[in-house]
Amino acid sequence: RRASRIRKEIPIISIVGYTNAGKSTLLNALTQSSVLVEDKLFATLDTAARRLRFPRERDVIMTDTVGFIRDLPEDLFGAFKATLDELHDADLLLGASQYR
């Protein structure tokens, strides 16, 4: 799906931040979605993408990413590959810092 969005030139905005910072809550508020929200570390284990429509039929794709932690052990980098790939392909990174 990501390749299709890039090919169609739909801008991608990825919400980034530490784990439990409110990224899913922000995605739900902006896109009127119902992505799972829980007050616990790593409630989001997979990247979620939702469409956000602006006036004049302008769309963007908002992605909710797995949260980061400080001092991530190098052997866990692989677990974050999908998130890092999303961030690489994003046109804009939107930081979430305690959005609840």
CA atoms of 8 and 44, how far apart (whole Å) = 27
Cα angle vertex 11, ends 65, 22, to 5°? 30
CA atoms of 58 and 68, how far apart (whole Å) = 30
Q: What is the DSSP letter of 89?
A: H
pTM for this prediction: 0.74
pLDDT (tens digit per residue) in 33-88: 888 777 766 666 677 889 988 888 789 998 887 777 777 777 767 767 777 887 88
Strand partners of residue 18: 68
Look up the CATH architecture of domain 2-95.
Answer: 3-Layer(aba) Sandwich (3.40)
Among the listed residues 72, 81, 86, the one whose alpha carbon sits nearest the alpha carbon of residue 13: 86
The whole-number pLDDT of residue 12 equals: 92
Query: Residue 43: what residue type?
Result: A
Give the SS3 label for residue 61. Answer: strand
The whole-number pLDDT of residue 11 equals: 92
